[in-house]
Structure 1
Amino acid sequence: MEMSETKKIDVNSLYAILLREVENDTVQEVDPNLYHNIAEFLGNIKNHDYDGIESKITESLVKMITEMTSILLKIRIEKATSLDEIDYSNLLDEERFILDSEDELRQRKETILSATLNGRLKLLETVGENHRARSIVVRFLKPMDQIMGTDLQSYGPFDAEDVATLPFENARSLIGKKIAVKVSWED
């Protein structure tokens, strides 16, 4: 079998992968396309219109795959982060994506703690200012007149469904009033 050929996933193969992961202390090597294959498998099942007994069977199949995938991801992430340094070996791109944010979180905690314990007021002020000054992308749920941003720039007017980058405080206020919603990168 060539490397380029991807192994199709099913309940048995996923169970075998999960079992191997549970039985070993280190993150196991898996097909680089694992999550892609699972997504494709579930997508194919969900796009079929089954009825009667078939629909019940596929329903429980989806449930099993969903649970196994959740457990597998959780275990792999926990194993990779169980040491002081994140162990990136054998992790898939999707898992590295998750862990990059954990790494960032850990660094931020250390920065704040260190600045606080070492009396570095300037650093704390800068962090606070930068955080308040950052922008957020929002999608408007209803029309909105022009507003003055906390950065003293004017924004708008906006129609429903418009997307805009606004200063954090303004965005937070609009989100709180249900006038807009935060747009996450995958939308």
Structure 2
Amino acid sequence: MEMSETKKIDVNLLYAILLREVENDTVQEVDPNLYRNIAEFLGNIKNHDYDGIESKITESLVKMITEMTSILLKIRIEKATSLDEIDYSNLLDEERFILDSEDELRQRKETILSATLNGRLKLLETVGENHRARSIVIRFLKPMDQIMGTDLQSYGPFEAEDVATLPFENARSLIGKKVAVKVSWED
């Protein structure tokens, strides 16, 4: 299969890709737009109003594609991380996005464990302070007057739907009071 040509995804093509992935020990080369093609395919199906038997067929189709995609992603990530060093070859951008956080997680664990076992109190204190001092992005659900941040900066006032970066402690308090929600990658 030529990688440069973007093929429209369907169940048979996805099954063939999954089968090739299962039968090989290394992460296989796939169309760089694979996940976007699947998303587009599912989006098109879900945006149609089918009824009767067509509705049952598309429901099964969505279920099959969902399961195959989940298995494919799981297998590709597991293969890439099965060695001590993550193998980034043939991984798609979306998969690298997932693995970057795993790599970060592993490094953080090593840092904390090493600092603890080697009596590096200062490092542990700094890590704790930096973590508490970090900022997060939130979206306001209702209007809010100006507030004083834990970093002694002024923030606001805010309208509903405003997005802002606030110190962690302030953001956590507003989220707890249901005044705002954390903005995740999907938003």
TM range (shorter): over 0.9
Alignment partner of 1:181: what SS? strand
The CA deviation string for residues 157-184 of structure 1, in whole angstroms up to 9 with x for no partner, is 2222121111000101111111110112
Larger deviation: 110-119 or 21-30?
21-30
Alpha-carbon contact 2:4-2:31 (below 8 Å) kept: no
Alpha-carbon contact 2:134-2:168 (below 8 Å) kept: yes
The CA deviation string for residues 22-61 of structure 1, in whole angstroms up to 9 with x for no partner, is 2222211212221121112112212222221111111110
- Following the alignment from structure 1 to structure 2, what is the Cα–Cα distance between the partners of residues 131 and 46? 41
What residue in structure 2 maps to residue 32 of structure 1? 32
The CA deviation string for residues 48-107 of structure 1, in whole angstroms up to 9 with x for no partner, is 222211111111101110110011101110111111111111111110111011111111
Question: What percent identity do the matched residue pairs reach?
Answer: 97
**Corresponding pairs, count:** 187
Alpha-carbon contact 2:138-2:164 (below 8 Å) kept: yes
Pairwise CA distance, 1:120 = 1.2
Pairwise CA distance, 1:150 = 0.7
- Following the alignment from structure 2 to structure 1, what is the Cα–Cα distance between the partners of residues 8 and 126? 51
Alpha-carbon contact 2:135-2:165 (below 8 Å) kept: yes
User: CA RMSD for the aligned pairs?
Assistant: 1.5
Larger deviation: 4-13 or 73-82?
4-13
- Following the alignment from structure 1 to structure 2, what is the Cα–Cα distance between the partners of residues 58 and 146? 50
Larger deviation: 58-67 or 143-152?
143-152
Pairwise CA distance, 1:123 = 1.2
Alpha-carbon contact 2:137-2:165 (below 8 Å) kept: yes
Question: Structure 1 residues 27 and 3, CA, compared in 2 at 3 Å: closer, same or farther?
Answer: closer
- Following the alignment from structure 1 to structure 2, what is the Cα–Cα distance between the partners of residues 162 and 8? 38
- Following the alignment from structure 1 to structure 2, what is the Cα–Cα distance between the partners of residues 60 and 168? 43
Unaligned runs of 5+ in 2: none
Give the TM-score normalised by structure 1. 0.94
Alignment partner of 2:160: what SS? coil
Alignment partner of 1:18: what SS? helix
Pairwise CA distance, 1:3 = 4.6
- Following the alignment from structure 2 to structure 1, what is the Cα–Cα distance between the partners of residues 109 and 179? 32
The CA deviation string for residues 116-145 of structure 1, in whole angstroms up to 9 with x for no partner, is 111111111111111111111111111222
Pairwise CA distance, 1:4 = 3.3
The 4+ residue runs of structure 1 with deviation greater than 6 A are none
Alpha-carbon contact 2:139-2:181 (below 8 Å) kept: yes
Give the TM-score normalised by structure 2. 0.94
Larger deviation: 102-111 or 46-55?
46-55
